Chain A
Amino acid sequence: MLKTENLSFSYQTKRGCFPVFQNLNVSFIPGFNVVLGPNGAGKSTLLKAIFGLLPCKGTIWYQKENVTALGTAAKTKLIAYLPQLDTSFSVLTVLEMVLLGLLPELGRKVKDEDLQRVMEILRLLNIERLAPRRFTELSGGQKKMVLVAQTLVRNPKIILLDEPVNSLDLQKQLELCCLLRRLVAETSVIAVLHDLNLAVQFAHHIVVLDGEGKLYGAGTPRETVTEKMLQEVYGVVATINYDKYGRPAISAVRSTRDVVA
Chain B
Amino acid sequence: MSDRPETPVLDHAFYKIMLKRRTALIAVLLGLAALLLVLNIALGSSPISLGEVFRVLLTGTGRGNNLLIIRDIRLPMSLMALAVGAALGMGGCEIQTILRNPIASPFTLGITNAATFGAALGLILNTNVLKVSESVMVTANAFVFALLASVCIYAFSTRAGAGKGSIVLFGIALNFFFTALTMILQYVSDSEDLKSLVFWNMGSLLKTNWTKLFIVLGALLFCFIIFYKNAWKLTAMTLDDTKAKSLGVDVQKIRRMVIILTSLVTAFAVSFVGSIGFVGIIAPHIARQLVGEDQRYFLTLSALIGAVVVALSFTISKIIIPGVVLPIGLVTAIVGIPVFLSIIFREMEAM
Q: Tell whether, in the assembled complex, residue B292 and residue A93 are in contact, meaning their CB atoms are under 8 Å apart.
A: yes
Interface residues as binary, B7-48 with A (CB distance below 8 Å gives 1, 0 otherwise)? 011111011001000000000000000000000000000000
Inside 8 A of A110's CB, which chain B residues have their CB?
Answer: 15
Interface status of A91 (Cβ within 8 A of chain B): yes
Decide if B55 is an interface residue (CB 8 Å cutoff). Answer: no
Q: Indicate which residue in B4, B232, B294 contacts A134 across the interface (CB closer than 8 Å).
A: B4
Contact with B along A103-130 (1 / 0, CB 8 A): 1101010101001101100000000111
A119 touches B11 (CB 8 A): yes
Known: A88-B239, A88-B243, A91-B292. A131 touches B233 (CB 8 A): no
Residues of A within 8 A of B8 (CB): 129-133
> Residues of A contacting B235 with CB < 8 Å?
92, 96, 100
B238 A103 Cβ-Cβ under 8 A: no
Q: What distance in Å separates the Cβ of B56 from its nearest Cβ neighbour in chain A?
A: 37
Across the interface, B238 reaches (CB within 8 A) one of A80, A82, A88, A131, namely A88
Q: At the interface, yes or no: B103 with Cβ under 8 Å from chain A?
A: no
Whether the Cβ atoms of A89 and B242 lie closer than 8 Å is: no
In this assembly, does B249 line the interface, its C-beta being within 8 Å of a C-beta of chain A? yes
Q: Is the CB of A89 within 8 A of B100?
A: yes
Within 8 A of A (CB), among B224-239: 231-233, 235-236, 238-239
A contact residues around B243 at 8 Å (CB): 82-83, 86, 88, 147, 150
- In the assembly, what is the distance between CA of A118 and CA of B16, in Å? 14
- Name which of A89, A131, A132 has the most chain B CB atoms within 10 A of its CB: A132
Categorize the interface residue count of chain A: 35 or more
Q: Is A139 engaged at the interface, CB distance under 8 Å to the other chain?
A: no
- B14 CB, min distance to chain A CBs, angstroms: 5
A157, chain B: closest CB distance, angstroms: 14
B250: which A residues are within 8 A, CB to CB? 72
Contact B233 A119 (CB under 8 A): no
B288 adjacent to chain A (CB < 8 Å): yes
Return A91 CB to nearest CB of chain B, in Å. 5
- A153–chain B nearest beta-carbon distance, Å: 11
B279 to chain A minimum Cβ distance, whole angstroms, is: 21
Docked complex Cα distance between A86 and B246 (Å):
12
Q: Which of A96, A116, A134 has the most CB of B within 10 A?
A: A96
A255 within 8 A of B: no
Jot down 9 A-B pairs with beta carbons below 8 A, ordered by A.
A76-B246, A86-B240, A91-B292, A93-B15, A93-B292, A100-B247, A119-B11, A128-B10, A132-B18
Query: B residues bordering A, Cβ < 8 Å?
Result: 4-5, 8-12, 14-15, 18, 100, 231-233, 235-236, 238-240, 242-243, 245-250, 288, 292-294, 296
Q: A83-B242, A93-B292, A103-B247 are in contact. List 16 more A-B contacts (CB 8 A).
A: A53-B246, A73-B248, A81-B246, A83-B240, A83-B243, A85-B240, A88-B240, A93-B4, A96-B15, A96-B292, A100-B235, A103-B232, A103-B233, A131-B8, A131-B12, A131-B15
